[in-house]
Amino acid sequence: MTLLEVDNLRVTFPSDQGPVEVVRGLSFALGRERLGIVGESGSGKSMTGRAIMGLIGAPGQATADRMAFEGRDLRHLPEREMRKLRGARMSMVLQDPKFSLNPVIRIGDQIAEALEFHTRLSARARRARVLEALEAVRIDDPERVARLYPHEVSGGMGQRVMIAMMVVMEPALMIADEPTSALDVSVRGQVLDIMDDLVRRRGMGLLLISHDLNMVARWCDRILVMYRGQIVEELGAGALHEAQHPYTRGLLASLPRLNEDRATLPVLDRAALDGFMAGGDR
């Protein structure tokens, strides 16, 4: 079943030189799967995530020919309705738990906030749900962690708390914007595992936004490669090395390998790339 359909999404910001389009005609559909969006800074990948959540604030503007979530058109949904969806049916996990958690609210209370806003559960029932959510992200002693403040937990634990906060409402769609970039390699695997588990068991759709080609390739069912606000290529899982577009190929070539024996690394030829983009089929 299609969870999310986006057709011709454009995000524009005004500037001194006139409007700048940072997302330029993006179209894709997401089912109950893991879809990766890869690109470098400025490629528009984060803006895509925000546009879906309805979080492009003025003076920025998001337009689309179609943007449907569970069959509902998001484009003209009033803010009140949007607020009912956000945090309940669709959630977002951001890069750094240090900045996305409120430093002066206990972790348990922060997770309960969404339940308080979206449901009429009793305090006791909310507490049970919070502990359940913490357990779902493999926190062994949820009782203790729920009482802690964000500065008392490590980065990996903080990110798990963020995810617990998202899953407590059992959303249908989770948008994760660089969920692991601020974490150590050893913790990264765990966090990805937990998200994977949620996708499989609860049938969630996941949109994973990242700059890390290899991580996304190992981990998603499909990958969209973005460059300058456009999708330049769509790849299936494990098909990263069949990439055709010169941008994707350039990126892959510029990554050092474990058994590196090249004297210099090839650098992306941006002039040639822009020439290709202008003359290409897109």
Partner 1 sequence: MIAVQNLNVRYGDTTVLHGVSLAVAQGESFALVGESGSGKSTILKALAGQVADWQGQMRLAGQDLQPGRKAHLARQVQMVFQDPYGSLHPRRSVDDTLAEPLAIHGIKGRDARVLAMLDAVGLPRRFRFRLPHQLSGGQRQRVAIARALMLEPPVLLLDEPTSALDVSVQAEIMNLLKGLREEKGLTFLLVTHDLPVVSFLCDRLAVLRAGRVEETAEVATLRAAGLQSAYGRELLERSGLV
Residues at the interface with partner 1 (CB under 8 A): 40-41, 155, 184-186, 188-189, 211, 213-215, 218, 250-251, 254-268
User: Cβ of residue 101: shortest distance to partner 1, in angstroms?
Assistant: 18
Taking the least distance from each CB to partner 1, the nearer of 86 and 160 is 160
On the CB side of 116, CA atoms within 13 Å amount to 9
Q: In this complex, which beta carbon is closest to partner 1, that of residue 81 or of residue 184? A: 184
Shortest gap between Cβ of 146 and partner 1 (angstroms)?
24
Q: Is residue 21 within 8 Å of 229, Cβ to Cβ?
A: yes
d(CA 4, CA 173): 8
Q: Can you list the positions of beta strands (E) in 149-242?
A: 173-177, 205-210, 222-227, 230-236
Q: Compute the least distance from the CB of residue 248 to partner 1, in Å.
A: 11
Q: Which string of b and e fits 116-127 if b means at least 16 CB within 10 Å?
A: eebeeeeeeebb
144/270 with CB nearer partner 1: 270
Q: What gap in Å lies between CA 82 and CA 34, rounded to an integer? A: 23
CB of 31 to partner 1, least distance (A): 26
Residue 38 pairs in a beta bridge with 210, 225
Residues 68 and 5: beta-carbon distance below 8 Å: yes
Taking the complex as a whole, the smallest distance from the CB of residue 185 to partner 1 amounts, in Å, to 5
Shorter beta-carbon distance to partner 1: residue 91 or 180: 180
Nearest CB to partner 1, comparing residues 105 and 187: 187
Q: Map tokens 């005004």 to a residue.
A: 14
